[in-house]
Amino acid sequence: MSQKVLSVTSPAPNLNRVEFEDGKLLYLIGTAHVSGDSVKFVEDVINEQNPDVVAVELDKNRMEALKNRKKYEETDIFNIFKQKKFLFFAAQLMLSSYQKKISEKTGSAPGSEFKRAIELAEERDAKLINADRDIAVTLKRTFRSMSFTEKVKFFTSLFFGDDKDIDTESIEELKKGDMLMQVIGEMGKDFPSLKTHILDERDTYLAVKIANNLGNVTVAVVGAAHVPGILKHLQECDCGEDTLEKISVVPPASRLSKALPWVIPAIIIGVFVYGFAVGDTTKALNAGIWWILINGVLSALGCLIAAAHPLTILAGFLAAPITSLNPTIGVGVVTGLVQLYLVRPVVRDLQNASQDTTKLSGWWKNKLTRALLVAVLSSLGSSIGTFAALPFVLRILG
Looking at the structure, do residues 243 and 275 belong to the same domain, yes or no? no
Strands across the sheet containing 217-223: 5-12, 15-20, 25-31, 217-223, 53-56, 127-130
| Confidence (pLDDT) at 131 | 93
Q: Is 143:151 a contact under the CB 8 Å cutoff?
A: yes
| Domain shared by 140 and 223, yes or no | yes
Sorted by sequence, the CB contacts under 8 Å of residue 363 that are 6+ apart come out as 356, 357, 369, 370, 372, 373
Q: Give the amino acid at 82.
A: K
Q: Is there a single domain that holds both residue 134 and residue 180?
A: yes
Same domain, 192 and 80: yes
Domain end among 212, 229, 247? 247
Q: Are residues 220 and 292 in the same domain?
A: no
Nearest to 188 by CA among 153, 224, 140, 136: 153
Look at residue 94 in the predicted model and tell me its pLDDT. Answer: 65
Residue range 253-289, pLDDT digits in tens = 667 666 767 777 777 777 777 767 766 677 778 888 8
The predicted-structure confidence for 335-379, as pLDDT tens digits, reads as follows 999 998 899 887 677 767 767 776 778 888 888 889 888 998 999
Q: In the beta sheet, which residues pair with residue 5?
A: 20
Single-letter residue type at 223:
G
* Identity of residue 133: R
Looking at the fold, whether 267 and 241 belong to one and the same domain comes out as: no
Question: Is 335 strand, coil or helix?
Answer: helix
pLDDT at 285: 81
Q: Are residues 115 and 263 in the same domain?
A: no
Same domain, yes or no, for 207 and 266?
A: no
Q: Exposure of 249 by Cβ count < 10 A (0-12 exposed, 13-18 middle, 19+ buried)?
A: exposed
**What's the domain count of the chain?**
2
Say which DSSP state 199 is in: I
Distance separating alpha carbons of residues 346 and 391, to the nearest angstrom: 44
- Note down the domain range covering 309: 255-397
What is the spatial distance between Cα 236 and Cα 224, in angstroms, rounded to a whole number?
A: 20
Predicted model pTM: 0.66
